[in-house]
Structure 1
Amino acid sequence: MSPWKQLLLVWALAAIAQGIAWARQQRTANAGIVDVAWSFGLGAAAVVAAATGAGAPLPRALLAALGGLWGLRLGLHLLRRVRGEAEDGRYAQLRKRWGAAPLKWLGMFQFQALLVALFSLPFLAVAASPVEHWNAWTIAGIAVWLGSVVGETLADRQLARFRADPANRGKTCRDGLWRWSRHPNYFFEWLHWFAYVLLAVGSPFAWLAWIGPLLMYVFLRWISGIPFTEAQALRSRGEDYARYQRSTSMLFPWFPKEDR
């Protein structure tokens, strides 16, 4: 199957999945399910791209395994949060403005389906790779994937453990990786996309793989990641989070500064 047909297939499947997630949101009034559908959708997109790609068996097998496992881990983590917590503050703010507004919520969910298609472009590049044997790029790609997934998992667990303690209500997590970055989970999420850049070396569409880290950085830094998360943190934690902003690197881990 050509990459463009693969892209249309991924988009169609993502649109159906997000439509189902939207219908659930209309019943539960919890839009956090959109992130769950996005994560599972991207993991499924990696498997679909691997199954329908025209490349060699090795990169396609690695793509299915690595992309699928990444999406499964992230989706399960987010699903536990959606089931166990109130609606994420970012979506709660939208709900204050939109109310039920079925068409507005549907548009937001379908925009996420479009993003699944866009973020699947690196997968299409890997799935078209003709590389038949292990090489340094392959090993490097696996190493980057492993390090980033371990880092993101650790950051998620540290935050979950902090939030589970009632004594920490209204406080900002500074434990473990959160001492070095205000968003270590986002940092490792961004880093993870370089795994597909490395796995796509030798592919006729290798340039597509760069869309992953570039697009993810733009969204995390300026659109839907850090700006919304920090605005909500300032609303809920006030001066404590403002001090955290002054002392701690925003995204890239670095030594904390003394807050003056």
Structure 2
Amino acid sequence: MLLLVWVLAAPMMALGWHWQRRHTNTGVVDVLWATGLCGAAALLAWFGPGATAPRLLLGLLSGLWGLRLALHLWRRVGHEPEDGRYRTMREHWRGDQRILFAFFQFQAMLIPLFALPFVAVATNAAVRRPWLIAGVVIWIAGVLGEAVADAQLARFRGQPQHRGRTCRCGLWRYSRHPNYFFEWLHWFAYVALAVGSPLAWLAWSGPVLMFLFLRFISGIPFTEAQALRTRGEDYRAYQRSTPMLFPWFPKRSTGLRTE
């Protein structure tokens, strides 16, 4: 099934590469990644050998998560210029379409990798109601928190007077990346849903991989580098006062503030 997920993801990413070539916007890769994971979860939930309850929750919860994230990202990709992170990457590669194609195909390979927790849930023949409820509660907390953080940032960025300044409102007062934190938290829902599965250990790959990618590879490093390029000292003051990922109370800062 994971091989089938990759076989379907590869041409989807090829079409995404063709789209970015016409529109000069690599950000579409994030939209397709979320869509691909949503489809992978639906496929595994439908054909998995596990009990109906965990498979039903897998298809429903991961579908709603992927749909919300894909639509949120598409609104940005469709109405804004290319994200500064991807623009810098494109300039670094001098617009070489061969490298960009390889980048899109690498993202296609990541879809079955991140779908491993879905395999654990889809093979869960046990129905342990407390853990299923826990999975739903964790999912609600993660997806709702991420949606609120995204909405707060979008509202802040939509006001012209905030151009070149850093959002410190709402959840962004307590974490420099609350959207990433709640995205990471959401993956623990599948750990709970997989309790009782013979492959339950696979579910831990979700939060582990997401933390590694967000913290060290494709998330925070690129986002903060772009923020420093565009917001300079204001963002440095934000770094000094506000936790990077895990929410906590901010320190006093003498830097610029924008409420």
Superposition TM-score, scaled by structure 2 size: 0.97
Distance 1:214 1:176 in 2: 27
Name the % identity: 62
- Per-residue deviation, 1:153: 0.2
- Which segment is superposed worse, 242-251 or 44-53? 44-53
Map 1:125-164; keep pairs closer than 5 Å. 125-132=120-127, 135-164=129-158
Match of 2:40 among 37, 40, 45: 45
Map 1:30-41; keep pairs closer than 5 Å. 30-41=25-36
Map 1:89-238; keep pairs closer than 5 Å. 89-132=84-127, 135-238=129-232
The answer for the alignment partner of 1:14 in structure 2 is 9
Letter of the aligned partner of 1:237 in structure 2?
R
For the 8 Å contact 1:155–1:177, the answer to whether it is kept is yes
Distance 1:209 1:12 in 2: 22
- Per-residue deviation, 1:100: 2.9
Distance 2:8 2:182 in 1: 27
Distance 2:5 2:97 in 1: 24
Distance 2:167 2:253 in 1: 16
Letter of the aligned partner of 2:44 in structure 1?
A
For the 8 Å contact 1:26–1:100, the answer to whether it is kept is no
Distance 2:56 2:130 in 1: 17
- Per-residue deviation, 1:211: 0.2
Match of 2:59 among 64, 67, 78: 64
Cα deviation 1:153-194 (Å, max 9, x = unaligned): 000000000000000000000010000000000000000000
Question: Which structure 1 residue ranges, 4+ long, deviate > 3 Å from structure 2?
Answer: none
Cα deviation 1:119-154 (Å, max 9, x = unaligned): 00000100000024x511000000000111000000
- Per-residue deviation, 1:85: 0.7
1:257 aligns with 2:254: no
Letter of the aligned partner of 2:19 in structure 1?
R
Distance 2:15 2:210 in 1: 25
SS of structure 1 residue aligned to 2:68: helix
- Per-residue deviation, 1:99: 2.9
Specify every segment of 5 or more residues in structure 1 that has no aligned partner in the other structure, as ranges. Answer: 1-5
Match of 1:78 among 73, 77, 84: 73
For the 8 Å contact 1:25–1:31, the answer to whether it is kept is yes
CA-atom RMSD, angstroms? 0.8
Superposition TM-score, scaled by structure 1 size: 0.96
Matched residue pairs, number?
Answer: 254
The answer for the alignment partner of 1:3 in structure 2 is none
The answer for the alignment partner of 2:238 in structure 1 is 244
Letter of the aligned partner of 1:128 in structure 2?
T
- Per-residue deviation, 1:103: 1.0
Distance 1:125 1:164 in 2: 41
